[in-house]
Amino acid sequence: MVAVAGVDLSGSERRPSGVAVLHDGGLYVDRLYSDEEILRKLLEFNVKIVAVDSPLAHSPSFRDVDRSMIKLGLRVLPPGWRGMRMLVERGIKLASSLSSLGILVLETHPRSALKTSKCGSLSELASKMGVPQPGRLSRDEEDALIAAFVSLKFLQGEVIEVEGADGRIFLLPPVC
């Protein structure tokens, strides 16, 4: 199995980011702080695809792709909001570092991906994906695991792609 991952990125390295890796040995889930820690962990597992929960392009308000998400009934925040700018900057920097290492980076929105999966909970989704959900997870870790499932479905050629003139967001197909 090719190792794939999901990252629920925080706007600041002072706050934890959720990281989930699906690999031959099973599942790794944790909360990491620095970009260096995240990169090191993904390289340790030889990850090939990472879905990141962060806008990966600047915009003063909603991007075209965000408007497409909203038309589908999915709730996203505009990258230009004050609280989002730091996240976008960190997401772009992390994506650039990952890409330079040959890792494919996808933009995702985990809560929307859970909704498009038609599963009522992460537990149900994990079960349908054949992955036993580990014990209690933080919200960051839950979102990272959903993002990792997006990476896996991308690898399998089964994602939903929401496209706009300024980006693409990858979501889960119905699995429940």
User: Which pLDDT does position 25 carry in this prediction?
Assistant: 83
Domain count, the chain: 1
> 154 by DSSP, 3-state: which?
helix
- The whole-number average pLDDT for the span 40-49 is 98
CATH number assigned to the domain comprising residue 17 = 3.30.420.10
Between residues 122 and 82, the one the model is more confident about: 122
| Percent of all residues in the chain with a pLDDT value above 70, rounded to a whole number | 100
User: Residue 134 sits in which domain range?
Assistant: 4-171
pLDDT tens readout for residues 50-81: 999 999 999 999 999 999 999 999 999 889 88
Flag whether 176 is in a domain. no
Structure tokens at 18: 């959720």
User: Which pLDDT does position 132 carry in this prediction?
Assistant: 82
pLDDT tens readout for residues 122-151: 999 999 999 987 789 999 999 999 999 999
For residues 87 and 5, give the distance between their C-alpha atoms in angstroms, rounded to a whole number.
19
Flag whether 149 is in a domain. yes
Flag whether 58 is in a domain. yes
- Whether the predicted model's global pTM rises above the 0.85 cut: yes
Flag whether 8 is in a domain. yes
For residues 122 and 138, give the distance between their C-alpha atoms in angstroms, rounded to a whole number.
12
pLDDT tens readout for residues 46-56: 999 999 999 99
